[in-house]
Structure 1
Amino acid sequence: MSAYTALTRAGCAASVRDRTTLFFTFAFPLSFLVLFGLIFQGQQVEGGLSSINYIAPGVLSWGVGNACVFSIGFALMQWRRDDLLRLIWRSPTPLRTLLASRWTLALGVALVQAVLFVAVALLPFFGLRLNGPWWAAVPLLVLGVTAFLALGVLVGSVADTPEAVAAIANLLMVPMAFLSGSFFPDDLMPGWLRTLAKALPLHYLNDGLTDALGGRGDLGDIAADCAGLALFTVVFGLVATRVFRWSNES
């Protein structure tokens, strides 16, 4: 068995056994979908689409980004605090193999989240309609997972305690969710806030999934959102390589 396979299996087993992680990964964001779906039930937004066509992709985007940032952020902080990163540095298994296994797990989680959230939103009570090229959600999720994992590596590299990881991650993800329109249609926000949101990675994942699942845009719009996520991946990755630490003493 390769190191990558062993690490992926171990990470999957640990995640499945952790009920708290399962709750905050799946049930917690799903509760926002149900809540805001009930609040805006039957309403329409700009373009004549049902509000659920905006809410479901938005909450899914936030859930995916949140899971990525928190999972790798806590893992890197814990590995560095326990000196596991320094042992990995001296072992035949390169760090990229460890990160690749975490990326695979995060992508699997994102796909499960997507199936679960869309299945709930498709219930007649909420009434989501897949009017767009829904298959384009797959490359968006791949790029979104990569971008937010890179952000999570950055968070896990600068935080030394669980409390610091939670504080930094929430400081980034909660305002980003509201500014990017994850919890309500972004056309309800002032124009200057919608312009500001374009400087946030969650905007592009949210916008792209809304185009793919909600039918708001076309493949050209989705391609532009994919490009935005790719750009943020490069930026976060470059910054993370500069601040990454193998131990708390370095």
Structure 2
Amino acid sequence: MSAYSALTAAGYRAQVRDRTTVFFTFAFPLIFLVVFGLIFRGRDVEESGYSYLSYTASGVLSWGVANAAVFGIGFTLMQWRVDDILRMIRMSPAPLSSVIGSRFVLALVVGAVQSALFVGVAMLPGFGLVPDSRWPLLIPVMVLGIITFLMLGVIIGSVADTPESVAGIANFLMLPMAFLSGSFFPLDSMPDWLRKLSLVMPLRYLNDAVSGSLTGRGDLSDIATGCAGLLVFTVVLGAVAMRAFRWTKTS
């Protein structure tokens, strides 16, 4: 078995053993979808004519997938470094690409399952959010989004040395980003300065691309712009992650 396969298999076994985390990883976005669907059913955003649910559903899915990618790799890298697992991997023939690549595959599987469950519920008659012609575009969008936030998780997992610090840093970044990027509230109803501020946040671009794919809001250029923004953030965050990565507590 290759190092890549062994790390992927080990990561999978560790992830499915924690049933509470598995449950909330997949159930949390769906709970938000149902809650927002009940609260905002039939209500439109005045300036755009689109429903509140068309905004919040896309944002909740984006936030859920991004959270899973960030927390998954962040906690894993921190724990492996503290337990000297990364040091042992470093002494083996396994390259860094195998370590990160194995986590990417797991994050991609989690994101795929999250998206499939979410799209399945969103297509129910009570929601009706997914046009038949658009939802396949969600696949490349999610792949790019997972890569972007995986890089952010690598940075967090590299600078944090305790579970509390991983959770603190990740929540400090992800929660404000969710509110400021339009995951929970439509950007169209926010002040102009806040909409401009959201342009420096990767979640804004994931929200826009997912919204265009999931609900048909906007056109293909909006999806392309969102993907381009994610690609830029992937390059930037990837460069920072390579600099910040540590095999041990000291190096």
Task: Specify if TM > 0.5.
Answer: yes
Q: CA deviation at 1:132?
A: 5.9
Does 1:18 pair with 2:21?
A: no
Between the aligned partners of 1:129 and 1:52, the Cα distance in structure 2 is 12
Between the aligned partners of 1:136 and 1:201, the Cα distance in structure 2 is 18
Between the aligned partners of 2:164 and 2:194, the Cα distance in structure 1 is 30
Between the aligned partners of 1:149 and 1:24, the Cα distance in structure 2 is 19
Instruction: Find the counterpart in structure 2 of residue 27 from structure 1.
Output: 27
- Contact kept, 8 Å, 1:122 with 1:128, in 2: the verdict is yes
Q: CA deviation at 1:4?
A: 1.6
Q: Which runs of 4+ in 1 moved over 6 A?
A: none
Q: CA deviation at 1:129?
A: 3.7
Gaps of 5+ in 1: none
- Contact kept, 8 Å, 1:179 with 1:193, in 2: the verdict is yes
TM-score, normalisation: structure 1: 0.95
Structure 1 stretch displaced more, 14-23 or 201-210? 14-23
Instruction: Find the counterpart in structure 2 of residue 186 from structure 1.
Output: 187
Between the aligned partners of 1:129 and 1:212, the Cα distance in structure 2 is 8
Equivalent residue letter for 1:120: V
Q: CA deviation at 1:51?
A: 2.4
Paired residue secondary structure (2:249): coil
Instruction: Find the counterpart in structure 1 of residue 119 from structure 2.
Output: 118
% of aligned pairs identical?
64
- Contact kept, 8 Å, 1:75 with 1:156, in 2: the verdict is yes
Aligned length: 250
Q: How does 1:42-53 map to 2 (within 5 A)?
A: 42-45=42-45, 46-53=47-54
Between the aligned partners of 2:84 and 2:243, the Cα distance in structure 1 is 19
Q: CA deviation at 1:200?
A: 0.2
- Contact kept, 8 Å, 2:63 with 2:203, in 1: the verdict is yes
Instruction: Find the counterpart in structure 1 of residue 236 from structure 2.
Output: 235
Paired residue secondary structure (1:198): helix
- Contact kept, 8 Å, 1:131 with 1:214, in 2: the verdict is no
Deviations 1:15-67 (A, max 9, x none): 22211221231112222222222221111224323322222111000001000
Gaps of 5+ in 2: none
Instruction: Find the counterpart in structure 2 of residue 2 from structure 1.
Output: 2
Instruction: Find the counterpart in structure 1 of residue 41 from structure 2.
Output: 41
Q: CA deviation at 1:128?
A: 1.8
Between the aligned partners of 1:242 and 1:126, the Cα distance in structure 2 is 44
Equivalent residue letter for 1:169: A
TM-score, normalisation: structure 2: 0.95
Instruction: Find the counterpart in structure 1 of residue 78 from structure 2.
Output: 77
Instruction: Find the counterpart in structure 2 of residue 138 from structure 1.
Output: 139
- Contact kept, 8 Å, 2:48 with 2:188, in 1: the verdict is no
- Contact kept, 8 Å, 1:56 with 1:118, in 2: the verdict is no
Equivalent residue letter for 1:60: L
RMSD of the alignment, in Å? 1.4
Between the aligned partners of 1:143 and 1:29, the Cα distance in structure 2 is 19
